Amino acid sequence: MAEMEGIYLYGIVDTAEEKSLGIEGTNAYGEVYTIPHQDISAVVSDSEMVNYTTLVKDVVARYLLRHQQVIEKIMDSYTIIPMKLGTYAFNIREVEEILSKGYTMFKDIFRKVNNKIEIDVVATWSDLNSIIKEIGEEQDVKRLKEESMSKPEGVSFEDQIKIGNRIKNSLDNKRERCALEIETGLKDVSIDFRKHDLMDDRMIFNIAFLIDKNKKTEFERRLDELDAIFNEKLNFRCVGPLPPYSFYTLEIKKMQFEEIEWARKKLGLNNFTNKEEIKKAYHRLAFSSHPDRNPNTPDTGNEFDETTKAYRILLEYCQGDSCSFNEEEFKKNSILVKVKE
């Protein structure tokens, strides 16, 4: 079955120019272009609407690479707030609605990221085996090994686990000390930072920094100094300048009326409510359906989970102080624009 045609969104730029940007789009029929609203624009391309959740990892990785390449080319000329991979609109009217809904938030983010760049820093052990060997020579580890080997029955499986845990704890402590030293050396030349997951035991540091463009040289100098301090024990990899992916990637969520109506009924709310009433309804139902209060009642856990799900849906939907569940009013608020968590 053929995919639906739509408009793919890369991000929002701080200009109201309506123009083609001369860049080939991701999975697109034509070039990347802008759709303006007031003094901002969406950067888009015409595209088939692809469900990225059904694709294998390698294919998603290729799409992500192309998505980022387009955004980073645009960054050469504009300040851009990036969109999450796989963000589509059905038509220009829906793009304009996204721009209108998110306008105040977009302007606030532009104030925060103007003349700013993201730099991602990763540090890994140059030779993990030599680090582990060093730890093996530490006094407490040596003593533990000697105690285990001196037993008449020899080194047991439990002894091996105990020694392994001691080495792992020491490695973790060493990693944390190195990471703290790197973070301390870099954060005072940055505006903000975000920690990312460590992918394996070799990696000790994986942090994105938001910095002023005019501090890029100083940031790189600090990184060189840290590289010298660690004297080849660590390998540093620096990626950037980048748009603020780790800080302000935008996410568009299109809410379904049936889902909102289910959540409203689940919490027993009227057609017009506010956040305070939503919270009160949730706390009342969550208190009565909590599994700890009903240990002998079947399906209490499911009921509690559904109540919590309904609460989160409604909090997301009700962006202002009050909200209406009338279907016509819902249509005006069915598109949610937010910063990806």
**pLDDT range class, residue 1, cuts 50, 70, 90:** very low
| 102 DSSP 8-state letter | T
Helix (H) or strand (E) holding 159: helix 157-187
Structure tokens at 119: 């730099």
* φ, ψ of residue 86 in degrees (nearest 5): 85, 30
Domain definitions of the chain by residue range: 5-114, 118-246, 255-339
Q: 189 or 260: which carries more pLDDT confidence?
A: 189
**pLDDT range class, residue 54, cuts 50, 70, 90:** confident
What contacts 303, CB < 8 A, 6 or more positions away?
Answer: 289
Maximum Cα interatomic distance, the chain, rounded to a whole number of Å: 82
pLDDT of residue 202 exceeding 90, the answer is no
Q: Residue 299 has what pLDDT?
A: 65
pLDDT of residue 301 exceeding 70, the answer is no
Q: Residue 4 has what pLDDT?
A: 76
Distance CA 4, CA 6 (A): 6
What contacts 10, CB < 8 A, 6 or more positions away?
Answer: 26, 32, 43, 44, 45, 67, 70, 71, 74, 80, 82, 83
pLDDT of residue 293 exceeding 70, the answer is no
The pLDDT mean for the chain works out to 82
Q: Is the backbone of residue 265 left (phi > 0), alpha (psi -120 to 50) or beta?
A: alpha
**pLDDT range class, residue 2, cuts 50, 70, 90:** very low
What contacts 115, CB < 8 A, 6 or more positions away?
Answer: 79, 212, 213, 214
Q: 326 or 213: which carries more pLDDT confidence?
A: 213
Q: 274 or 74: which carries more pLDDT confidence?
A: 74
- Give the pLDDT confidence of 212-223 residue by residue, as tens digits: 999 999 999 999
* Burial label, 60 (beta-carbon count in 10 A; 0-12, 13-18, 19+): middle
- Give the pLDDT confidence of 93-103 residue by residue, as tens digits: 888 888 988 89
Over residues 51-75, mean pLDDT: 85
Q: Residue 295 has what pLDDT?
A: 65
Strands (E), the chain: 5-13, 20-24, 31-37, 40-48, 80-82, 88-89, 116-125, 192-195, 203-212, 234-242, 250-254, 272-274, 322-324, 335-339
Q: 320 or 23: which carries more pLDDT confidence?
A: 23
Q: Residue 260 has what pLDDT?
A: 79
Whether this model's pTM surpasses 0.85: no
How much of the chain exceeds pLDDT 90, in percent? 19
Q: Residue 159 has what pLDDT?
A: 62
Q: Residue 149 has what pLDDT?
A: 63
Over residues 240-247, mean pLDDT: 91
Q: Residue 266 has what pLDDT?
A: 81
Distance CA 222, CA 178 (A): 15
DSSP calls for 224-260:
HHHHHHTTTSEEEEEEEEE-SHHHH-EEEEE--HHHH
Q: 131 or 188: which carries more pLDDT confidence?
A: 188
Topology (CATH level 3) of domain 255-339: Helix Hairpins (1.10.287)
Q: Residue 259 has what pLDDT?
A: 79
pLDDT of residue 28 exceeding 60, the answer is no
**pLDDT range class, residue 300, cuts 50, 70, 90:** low
